[in-house]
Chain A
Amino acid sequence: MEGPTKRFGNKPQIAFFDFACCEGCQLSVLQLEERLLDILELVDVVTWREAMSEYSNDYDIAFCEGSITREQDIERVREIREQAAILVTLGSCASGGCHNDLKNQWEMDEMLALVYGDQAEHFDTIPSRPITAVVEVDYKIYGCPVSLAEFVTVVKRILTGQSYEPPNQPVCVECKLNDHLCVLEKGEVCLGPVTRGGCDAICTGFGDACQGCRGLMDAANVGAMLKALTREQAHAIVRKVVERYGFTQDDIETKLRIYNNWPELNLEEIAANDD
């Protein structure tokens, strides 16, 4: 097995960077607590604004969180890409799409005026996009925020020179493997059947519906969701949901848009794809 020291010659130097986001993913990583100490046996953290005051531009692995929302972000992330042997996107903002992208539904001028009022001229903004839309990345960790277990898995994969493919199966799989009760049984709508898993179904485990924070999986059958949740005749469990919420196509679209508005969500188009 190729060990960490072999891959990087020495203990690899790690840096964390944030772009437009809530920084919740970094905060989650800090919540690793004792496990963080185990990771620090294997790597040196040289830059991490949220956790330390030291700073270095000499690093091997960059974890980048957040969305690209300004021209200067593009430059900055390209510089990071240039320096880092390995670039990892941390969280849905950076990896696939997140709340920031919601603003793309409106004109940028309008958005600036809405947020900054008469100071708008001092700011610039571009349509929000994940880091994956701007530079090549080596590893992606979805989630809003990331799951700690998946973060640790990816760290281990990086250090042992293995690739990591984010799971391409819906949250329902992990929900069942954990023997959670399907929230539809309680009459709630869940985006789990079309959402990329990997979170170990944490939300449904606590009895909450999946909000789709990891984005649509590849070949997600959104058309099936429209058929199941908006039709009048459905089996008892689904019917309860339909009756309770009177779900419409717009409702589903609104829910899906939160994490899937990059590139702009086109429900008709994705619903038509039932490969």
Chain B
Amino acid sequence: MPTELVMTHEAVPGFFGRLIDEGPVMGPRERARQPGFHHFDWLDSADDLVLEYQTTTIPPKKAFFPPRDVLFEFDLTDPPEFRAVRDATPFTLVGVHPCDLEGLRLLDDAYAQEPAEACWPANRARARIIGVDCTPDEYCFCTSVGSCHSRAACDLFLTPIERGRLVEVLTGAGEEMLRVSDVTEASDEDHAQAQQWRDDKEAAVTAGLDASPAEFADLLATGDFTDIWHEISSRCYSCGSCNTTCPTCFCFDINDEFDLGLTGGRRVRTWDSCQLAEFALVAGGHNFRRLRWQRVKHRWHRKFDYLYREFGTPYCTGCGRCSRACTADINIVDVSNQIIEAARQGVQG
């Protein structure tokens, strides 16, 4: 059992204000141009922080791997010179929902695979993380993949209770963040309210997979389901939004950009998506997944089959972002359940 304390409503702004005074803090805040919609961004003051927010378009992984990330700069001298571009400033990431905490854990594992990726762990080591509990919407299905109550990757976790937040202290770094004036002892009543919140949350998750992750992985492998993939792909734009919004997608592309003087430049990596037509295009012109249906099928197999077998957990946190973002209305839960049903009926084609 981690230590559990209480931060009252009155203490919350002071606590986050102090964190912001200490160094950069990223958290959910209202979009400057679109009031009522939130995204993860750097906070200027504790007033910017919105702790009750609906799932953001882009997950908080952007704090550790920006969509466009400069790896190094170079000068085309003889011999050429290279300068690593790495920011070492410690920062704090706050307001992360459990599914997104799980997303960070999954990326920790993926990027640690040999040959290990160096930037992700270096950036993760710079940050303290504070999680918060949330209210599901119609796209959330965290209960199907076991991320509903995840406390992965975070130092503190906050659950709403009547007089403020119940604070779970999960690491030493979390303990260090708290001052005596921030918190008080939690009473039985506080514990009971937090538990009630968790129970209500779980009950409010309405979307769900009709099979466990283990069973789904097996069912996916029982057939090709080509007819289903054809039908889904006839509606798919290959726009990649299902990947570029996903907290567990880790693919990127790398390009060199020259300065205008053509004497140097920088190497930049950018988020990529397996749904894009040219993702699997290789030198010589061959495209391993030229057809749209092959790419759609690939996404499901990555999330629920290949990576499940590799890591023992689906590479899906149930956050529902891919369904929300899909302007073609391709819903990850609906399609998965369609496959599950077909597989159970012995459809293989």
**Distance in Å: Cβ of B137 to nearest Cβ of chain A:** 9
Return the CB mask of A135-172 against B: 1 if under 8 Å, else 0. Answer: 00000000000000000110010011000000011101
Known: A169-B240, A169-B278, A170-B237. A152 touches B57 (CB 8 A): no
A77 to B68, CA, bound (A): 39
In the bound complex, residues from chain A placing their C-beta under 8 Å from that of B331 are: 235
Mark each residue of chain B from 233 to 248: 1 if its CB lies under 8 Å from any CB of chain A, else 0.
1111111110011000
- Also in contact, A224 and B236, with CB within 8 A (given A169-B278, A182-B57): yes
Q: Which of A172-194 contact B (CB under 8 A)?
A: 172-173, 176-182, 184-186, 190, 192-194
A269 is an interface residue with CB less than 8 A from chain B? no
Q: When chains A and B are docked, how far (Å) is the Cα of A3 from the Cα of B34?
A: 45
The interface residues of chain A lying within 8 Å CB-to-CB of B234 are 221, 223-224, 227, 274
Per the 8 Å Cβ criterion, residues 275-328 of B in contact with A are: 276-278, 290-292, 323-328
State the 3 A-B residue pairs at the shortest beta-carbon distance, nearest first. Answer: A176-B244, A172-B239, A193-B237
Question: Which of B31, B37, B138, B240 counts the most chain A CB atoms within 10 A?
Answer: B240
Identify 11 new A-B residue pairs, CB closer than 8 A, beyond the known A182-B327, A274-B233, A275-B292: A1-B76, A3-B262, A176-B57, A176-B58, A179-B57, A181-B31, A221-B236, A223-B234, A228-B235, A234-B329, A274-B292
Number of contact residues on A: which range applies? 35 or more
A152 to B41, CA, bound (A): 29
The reply to whether the CB of B258 lies closer than 8 angstroms to some CB of chain A is: yes
Q: Is the CB of A179 within 8 A of B62?
A: yes
Number of interface residues of B (CB under 8 A): 47
In the complex, how many angstroms separate the beta carbon of B82 from the nearest chain A beta carbon?
A: 15
Q: Which residues of A contact B34 (CB under 8 A)?
A: 181, 186, 207
B237 in contact with A172 (CB, 8 Å): yes
The answer to whether the Cβ of B53 comes within 8 Å of any Cβ in the partner chain is no
Asked if A52 CB lies within 8 Å of chain B CBs, one says: no
Q: Chain B interface: which of A37-45, A66-74, A120-128, A258-266?
A: A37-45
Task: Tell me whether A224 and B237 are in contact (CB under 8 A).
Answer: yes
**B271 in contact (CB, < 8 A):** yes
The residue that B262 contacts in the complex, of A4, A177, A186, A235, with Cβ under 8 A, is A4
A35 contacts chain B at the CB level, 8 A cutoff: yes
Q: In whole angstroms, what is the CA distance A177 to B239 when docked? A: 12
- Cα distance A153–B326 when bound, in Å? 30
Q: Which residues of B contact A186 (CB under 8 A)?
A: 34
Among B41, B235, B260, B276, which residue has its beta carbon within 8 angstroms of that of A173?
Answer: B276
In the complex, A237 has a CB within 8 A of chain B: yes
B83 within 8 A of A: no
Knowing A173-B240, A179-B62, A181-B31 are in contact, say whether A237-B278 is a contact too (CB < 8 A).
Answer: no
Nearest residue in A to B234 (C-beta to C-beta)? A274
- Which among A3, A194, A207, A234 is the interface contact of B33 at CB below 8 angstroms? A207
- What are 8 inter-chain pairs, A to B, with CB distance below 8 A? A170-B239, A176-B271, A176-B325, A194-B237, A218-B277, A221-B237, A235-B323, A235-B326
Q: Is the CB of B262 within 8 A of A184?
A: no
Interface centre among A178, A179, A185, by most chain B C-beta atoms within 10 angstroms, is A179
Report whether B138 and A236 are in contact in the complex, using a CB–CB cutoff of 8 Å. Answer: yes
A94 at the interface (CB under 8 A from B): no
What CA separation (Å) do A172 and B236 show in the bound complex?
A: 13
Complex partner residue of B260 from A35, A179, A223, A275, CB under 8 angstroms: A35
CA distance A227 to B236 in the complex (A): 10
B291 proximity list for chain A (CB < 8 A):
275
CB-CB nearest in chain B for A32: B260
Q: Is the CB of A224 within 8 A of B235?
A: yes
